[in-house]
Structure 1
Amino acid sequence: MAMLDNLLIRTRAIPPDPPRRRGATTLGPERQRFGLLKAVLAAVPWLQVGMGAAIVLLAAMVPWGTSQVLSAMDRQILAIDVTGTLVGENRTDLERKAGDWIGKSFFATDLSEIKNELERRPWVESAAVRRLWPDRLEIEIREKKPLAYWNSNRLVSRTGELFSPDNPEVAGRLPRLAGPDERVRDVISMARTMSDTLAGHGLGFAGLTLEQRGAWTLSLANGIEVVLGRDQVEERFARFLTVYESRLISRADEVSQVDARYTNGVAVKWKSDKLTGSGSKS
């Protein structure tokens, strides 16, 4: 009986190990997570990430570095040179005004502030300001070019800008224009047309006035005043030239005024105060 028991124990079936798939490996949970992390890290383009980080850091440091370099190099402005052909402006006055910026920071000084300040001066059309290392500024002044005197105490530039300097007389001998300020471009246009026409007839243009009510009066370089009125101004101007060349040219130095506001002729006022005329006034 004992031998039978031993035999039964020795021959008892022992469950076999579960079959394994050929080539498969079983990993624990920790080793699985490590393998996943390793795969993710392997997929990251570390070279590109490193270069991108370096570029961002460098870009952030450039303003700081530039500021530090400029601060180390900065100096005070010790001299300012004023250049340009000046007629109305006084170079000494400009240099004295520019002296307001002597001693200021070479780099921190706002050049546009200097430019705007100088361009507020009546004669200054534009001011170009630039730095000259290590401690100088150069200011180039461009003046307005006067075309004519305007309403006796101001000037009008070739671009049609009215300005009021303290010394308008330095503009020299110029035509005299007058009229409402809002009509300045109309007066300039008419003056140019008449001046060109007069030059073709050997006459000089001295001035033109537009009254508030719209009447035009022309002044010639020989002293003759031509009254043209409000209507048909071009036709009356042409009529004056015709009469002048046919009847008055030989006695021009005796003529004070010609009134062209007539339908078929003109009225002449002589310097001797005699008034003669023909035609009917309209």
Structure 2
Amino acid sequence: MTDFLRAMTWVFASLLLILPVLAVLNGWLATQQWPVRRLHVQGEFAQIDEAQVSEAVMPYLEKGFFALPLEDVQRALVALPWVADVHVSKRWPDVLDIQVREHRAAALWGESQLLSDRGVLFPRPAGMRDESLPHFHGQPRDVESVVAMYADAQRLFGPQQRQVAQVRLSGRGSWSLNFRTGEVVMVGRSEPRLKMRRFARSLPLIAVVPGRRWLRADLRYSNGFALKWSAPESPTEREMDNT
């Protein structure tokens, strides 16, 4: 019986020590005694600001310094538009440190996403339109291929005053381009880069046709391409042998 009483006494004493600690760590008591008084926010902000960050974390601060749920704070911040990455930590006695990295948009993607300069797709804010960004279309798995095609097309046509505005890769693997000057290039699936190089070599000759402007080029031919012209008195389709 004596051993039992000793054991119970030890358990009771341990609980007296542990329970207050657990209560503080879980925010059950003394939250006002150890409050978080300062937010230290770091980051280069272009699309978001410190006020948005503060508003997102404010509901969690009432738990106090010890019980502050860092994982929940991080999830709340990552959910903000334009936030790419977040690191949060506590600093004694009353500081919450927050480091935020924003996405930097490199292109529009589809109808509802943006592509970052690190190749990451993220939600596009409602109503956002930025005509200065190229517009890519494809499946998420095609990001690398679409970016590479855009770079190749810019390298081929940029020196000829044809800036690429859109790159589209269809579900069947067919490529097409839109220039900022309005022309459309149907590249197709087979040997797209070979066909673009061939068309780029002919572009200076097409551009100097008097009184005529081409609207669409169809490169889906084995030895040439077809053009649609703007002049109504001209044939709408003309085969050009480019061999």
TM-score (norm 1): 0.64
Query: How far did residue 189 of structure 1 move?
Result: 2.0
Amino acid at match of 1:153: S
The root-mean-square deviation of aligned C-alpha atoms, in Å, is: 3.2
Once residues 97 and 144 of structure 2 are traced to their aligned partners in structure 1, the CA distance between those partners, rounded to angstroms, is 35
SS in 2 for 1:222: coil
Please identify which structure carries the higher helix content. 1
Gaps of 5+ in 1: 1-63
Q: What residue in structure 1 maps to residue 47 of structure 2?
A: 88
Q: What residue in structure 2 maps to residue 241 of structure 1?
A: 200
Higher relative contact order (CA 8 A, sep 6+): 2
Change (3 A) 1:91 1:165: farther
Change (3 A) 1:279 1:172: closer
Provide Cα deviations, 1:169-219, integer angstroms capped at 9, x if missing partner.
276621000012332222122222222333344431211001112211011
Query: How far did residue 162 of structure 1 move?
Result: 1.7
Q: Could you tell me whether the CA contact under 8 Å between 2:226 and 2:238 is conserved in 1?
A: yes
SS in 2 for 1:99: helix
Residue 219 (structure 2) pairs with residue 219 (structure 1): no
Residue 84 (structure 2) pairs with residue 125 (structure 1): yes
Q: What residue in structure 1 maps to residue 238 of structure 2?
A: 277
Q: What residue in structure 2 maps to residue 138 of structure 1?
A: 97
Shifted more, 138-147 versus 197-206: the winner is 197-206
Q: What residue in structure 2 maps to residue 59 of structure 1?
A: none
Once residues 186 and 211 of structure 2 are traced to their aligned partners in structure 1, the CA distance between those partners, rounded to angstroms, is 16
Amino acid at match of 2:239: S
Query: How far did residue 129 of structure 1 move?
Result: 1.9
Q: Could you tell me whether the CA contact under 8 Å between 2:137 and 2:167 is conserved in 1?
A: yes
Change (3 A) 1:226 1:252: farther
Q: Could you tell me whether the CA contact under 8 Å between 1:130 and 1:138 is conserved in 2?
A: yes
Q: Could you tell me whether the CA contact under 8 Å between 2:89 and 2:96 is conserved in 1?
A: yes
Once residues 256 and 94 of structure 1 are traced to their aligned partners in structure 2, the CA distance between those partners, rounded to angstroms, is 48
Change (3 A) 1:81 1:199: same
Mark the structure with the bigger radius of gyration.
1
Residue 169 (structure 2) pairs with residue 228 (structure 1): no
SS in 1 for 2:224: coil
Moved over 6 A (4+): 250-253
Gaps of 5+ in 2: 1-17
Once residues 142 and 172 of structure 1 are traced to their aligned partners in structure 2, the CA distance between those partners, rounded to angstroms, is 24
Q: Could you tell me whether the CA contact under 8 Å between 2:212 and 2:229 is conserved in 1?
A: no
1:102 to 61, 65, 68: 61
Identity of aligned residues (%): 25
Shifted more, 263-272 versus 153-162: the winner is 263-272
Q: How many residues align?
A: 215
Query: How far did residue 168 of structure 1 move?
Result: 6.7
Once residues 222 and 253 of structure 1 are traced to their aligned partners in structure 2, the CA distance between those partners, rounded to angstroms, is 14
Amino acid at match of 2:185: V
Change (3 A) 1:137 1:104: same
Change (3 A) 1:81 1:168: farther
Change (3 A) 1:267 1:234: same
SS in 1 for 2:220: coil
Shifted more, 82-91 versus 95-104: the winner is 82-91
1:260 to 209, 214, 219: 219
Residue 72 (structure 2) pairs with residue 113 (structure 1): yes
Change (3 A) 1:127 1:189: same
2:157 to 174, 198, 212: 198
Once residues 252 and 236 of structure 1 are traced to their aligned partners in structure 2, the CA distance between those partners, rounded to angstroms, is 26
1:12-27 matches, cutoff 5 A: none
Change (3 A) 1:131 1:155: same
Provide Cα deviations, 1:92-150, integer angstroms capped at 9, x if missing partner.
33221121222332234243432233223342111122334432323221011222111
